[in-house]
Amino acid sequence: MPRKETNPINSFESEFERMTTIVDKLERGNVPLGEMLALYEEAMTLSAKLKEVLTEAELRVEKLAAVHEELAVGQKIEGNDIMENEDLF
């Protein structure tokens, strides 16, 4: 049975927090070389995941904004049609 994927948006905050912890540890400097390389590799993997989630979120926001814009324009056009028809009476 395939494992169910977690929602990437929900895990974003925990992965970002882990990334911050890694960066802080690396910036302090007192890390053995082997651990430093492992942490750097993990940070790069997390960075790629986080970037992907942010890109997907940005696309969702753009789509929602486009739908909202279409609805707003449609309502404005319908509103103008109603006003023009009222002038006929």
Print pLDDT tens along the chain (89 aa).
555 556 666 689 999 999 999 999 999 999 999 999 999 999 999 999 999 999 999 999 999 999 888 887 777 666 665 455 555 44
Residue 42 lies in a domain: yes
What's the total number of domains in the chain? Answer: 1
Residue 1 lies in a domain: no
Q: What range defines the domain where residue 76 resides?
A: 8-88
Residue 3 lies in a domain: no
Residue 46 lies in a domain: yes
Give the pLDDT confidence score for residue 84 in this predicted structure: 53
Q: What is the reported pTM?
A: 0.66
Compute CA distances 21 → 26, 59, 81, whole Å.
9, 28, 58
Residue 2 lies in a domain: no
DSSP letter for 85, please. H
pLDDT digits (tens, 9 = 90+) for 4-19: 556 666 689 999 999 9
